Amino acid sequence: MEQFKRIGITGRQGRSHIVDTLKRLVTFLESRNVDIVVDESLSDILPSPQTKTFSRSTMGQNSDLVIVIGGDGSLLGAGRELSAYDVPVLGVNRGRLGFLTDVSPDELEPRIGEILDGQYSMESRFLLEARVERDGQLIGQGDALNDVVLHPGVSTKIIEFELFIDDQYVYCQRSDGLIIATPTGSTAYALSGGGPIMHPKIDAMVLVPMHPHMLTSRPLVVSGDSELKLVINEGNEIHPRISFDGQVDIKLAPDDTITISKKAKKLKLVHPMTHNFYEACRSKLRWYQQN
């Protein structure tokens, strides 16, 4: 097991409820003689002005582990950026659901202590990358840990687009859009759209139509190594959008092409030894339990 001697800390900016957790975490790590670096965006709420602060990218390059304090959205944002530096990431949940941030604030010290002692598991989660081209020119790109979503933006009109998988024509669809989710994202927006839950170890993507015009349109699971291509039909009356984890957005135009594939760099997620995917589903999704 890797030893974490320098730990970076980041979290959601402007969220006052992370202050107590941040102070507890810094105090505990200092008691364990760990070298601490904190995201400079959190500098105004640090318990000590002597604590070192860096940009998130510098922190990713120089840390053995980065702890994210916040909800799943905070970890999604940090994970997309930190995956480039091959640094493991651990989430402390200060949000609602907490599928990715699985250390509870109530168990902060014992769980972090166990991880520092080498009692943890680590897994890799793949991300998606998308490129948007217009008239053969790249106009935008983005990464997603959960999902890439084609949607109409503020309009209520249907989008018409064509889907190709590995250069093979699949269909022309009229709908409110399409969710392309990783196994990580299968318990997020894709789930609310009727998509299946996929175990994180599965190497696959799921495509979930959003309110399709044809009731026979159903979620489709494809290989994680597939290359997807969406072509916005010229006849569309609206300019739809493509979003990445619901946090980054690109405005599209008729005849734009979006190419989506697996990103080469993966995100390393650290979990306490108590972590269990099925238990997380059971508790977060409120599955009924029998004695």
Q: Name the token pair of 279.
A: 């238990």
What is the spatial distance between Cα 158 and Cα 161, in angstroms, rounded to a whole number?
A: 10
Q: What share of the chain is helix, strand, coil (3-state, %, to 5)?
A: 25, 40, 35
Summarize pLDDT for 145-186 with one digit per residue, the tens: 999 999 998 878 899 999 999 999 999 999 999 999 999 999
Q: Which neighbouring-strand residues pair with 101?
A: none
What would the DSSP string read from start to end of 236-266? -SS--EEEETTTEEEE--TT-EEEEEEEEEE
SS3 (DSSP) at 110: helix
The pLDDT of residue 235 is 84
Q: Where are the beta strands (DSSP E) in 120-227?
A: 120-134, 137-144, 147-151, 159-165, 168-175, 177-181, 204-210, 220-223
User: CB under 8 Å to 21, separation ≥6 — which residues?
Assistant: 69, 92, 94, 105, 108
User: Rounded distance, CA 254 to CA 244, Å?
Assistant: 20
Class of domain 127-263: mainly beta
Domain spans of the chain? 6-119+273-284, 127-263
Higher pLDDT, 284 or 189: 189
Residues 52-97: tens digit of each pLDDT: 888 999 999 999 999 999 989 999 999 999 999 999 999 999 877 7
246-276 pLDDT, tens digit per residue, is: 999 999 999 999 999 999 999 999 999 999 9
Residue-wise pLDDT for 189-203, tens only, equals 999 999 999 999 999
Catalytic annotation, residues? 72
Domain 6-119+273-284, CATH among 3.30.390.30, 3.20.20.70, 3.40.50.10330, 1.10.10.10: 3.40.50.10330
Q: How far, in Å, CA of 282 to CA of 99, rounded?
A: 11
Scanning the structure block, which residue is given the tokens 């990445």? 244
Tokens of 227: 């290359």
